[in-house]
Structure 1
Amino acid sequence: MRRRTALALIPALCVPPARRAAAQATFPDRPLRMVIPFTAGGSNDIVGRMIAEGMGTRLGQSVIVENRGGAGGVIGSEAVARAPKDGYTFLLGGSGSFLISSLVQPRVPYDIIRDFAPIGFIGAAPAVIAVNPRVAATTLAELRGLARSGGTPVSYASPGVGTTGHLLGALMAQVFGAEMDHVPYRGTGPAMTDVIAGRVQVITNAAAPFLPHIAAGTLRALAVASPRRLAILPDVPTTAEAGFPDILSATWYGLLAPAGTPPDRIATLHAALAATLADGSVQRRLAEEGAEVEPSPQPADFGRYIAEDRARWQQVVTRTNIRAE
């Protein structure tokens, strides 16, 4: 090598490796992909697209939403677990499609702790416990009394076997010390229709679909399964206020990447998510979906939340032997 050429290379060789890497590749430098493990149109899809739009603006690249529904969320989640570990593909994970599905589905081809890297928590929509207004219960304590009366078991509707609504009903039965009949449906809509008609007595779900029916008097809200009251239902007590602090449940949302994604890319995605969640318009739109924004300070905080929530629901699944069909 000529001396002049060697001298010309010295400044480049003296640049720290991190700065050289940054100069060679800026993340992201092309569109990203958010996988939503549900078909389009539901609450998960609405929340995911809202977050994708906000993050895309802050990252300077489009975040393309890909709906991959099926198998209770397993198909979409597996697609992300097996995706390249480069930060360009991430999952809108949720309490039902990601966590509970991993506990009740017969075959899950991934481990939600080992095979995913948490990016950040988005927020949670606490479950509202509601009944048909003809049910002789205006409080959760009265519902327990009805369930323990020794007559026909109280029935509760859910969007399907192994869903959040199914597990919350099972948790209520455990806490009440009573038998309750589970009536599964194919989605929240038909379940709510039958409760309003009086064919089933109890239903639990995020608040948003219930609001018009509560206002019209065709559903009666007994409690919110959350430590705090909901701003959109300020007169409905929490389960703790009603005397049942162990009955807690929410439909939560968060972002996850494949395990092994570089930490600096996770940090970039986390920062874009945090900035999106700090936007007042995003907060208002999420509130309309019944979700309370709760950004995690660091990705690891979301990881700890997942582990703790899985341990809590694992106890319910083990005691009741719930399995998706």
Structure 2
Amino acid sequence: MQDGSFADVKPRDAWQGLQKIIPTEEKIKYLAGLVALGFQHIDAVSFVSPKHVPQMADSEAVMQQVSQARLPSGEAPEIIGIVVNEQGLERALATPGVTTIGYPYSISAYFRRANVNMSRAETRTLVEKMQRDTKAARRRLVVYISMAFGNPYDEPWGPEIVEETLVWLKGAGVRTVSLADTVGAASPEDVADLYRAVKDCVAGVEIGVHLHSRPEGAAEKILAAYEAGCRRFDGALTGLGGCPFAGDALVGNIATETVLTTLAARGVATGIDAKSLAIACAMTGALRETYAHDAEAPRPN
């Protein structure tokens, strides 16, 4: 049995797009529940402007309680907090329980300007500072490479651009990177081809994938990445969280249950049993029914 690691991105990636604000107490109960069920890697909070993402305005208050949560083994989970600037970095590093800082780094100039309004040079300077500061604080940094699998804005794109970015990130000291299919356009073949093309260019760097997909195509993409050598997968319970850039309402985060069942079918030890997964999906479904505007039932595996 081989181990597969993943980060459940539901709490942050999925919640931040909801129109209804989830009460702080509900977030705490949900996140602590995931930890108690054995979810070791949780992308839980973000430290961004409350004006732009009001759902995440209570990240410090949430983590004040969630920082006490422990896995069944008694160990603390990995809690990822997303930041996009120095102010967010300072907030995250001052927040107990945030073990890992996450930063979305776009290789698309258009997308980067639209999201963080920074040049490539400015974002690279920021990443270098993040790496220094997180290391000094004994935290970790994970960088998500947006538009890694293609660029819909008529800008230059190719595996060599992704490779150059990975080499630069390694030189800056980053040791965990996730390749993001931001617009959900990559086919399983695209996923496998890019991963194989870049996985050996940065020895010692863990390269994961953050994929978007229609539900029926998700398992095939996960398998393609796994067979290409990927062992870190992002997912969102029940597939909550869309992809506003895809132009297809059915394209969104790949469901964590799809990730886990697909890997388990290949004999991968995920650390989450079927009962715990079912409970987590039920918890997510209850939140979704109350706070998601679509009020859909959970997506099928």
* TM-score, shorter chain, exceeding 0.5: no
Which fold has the larger relative contact order, with Cα–Cα distance below 8 Å and residues 6 or more apart in sequence? 1
What interval of TM-score do these two structures reach, taking the shorter chain for normalisation?
under 0.3
Q: Which has the larger radius of gyration?
A: 1
TM-score in terms of structure 1 length: 0.26
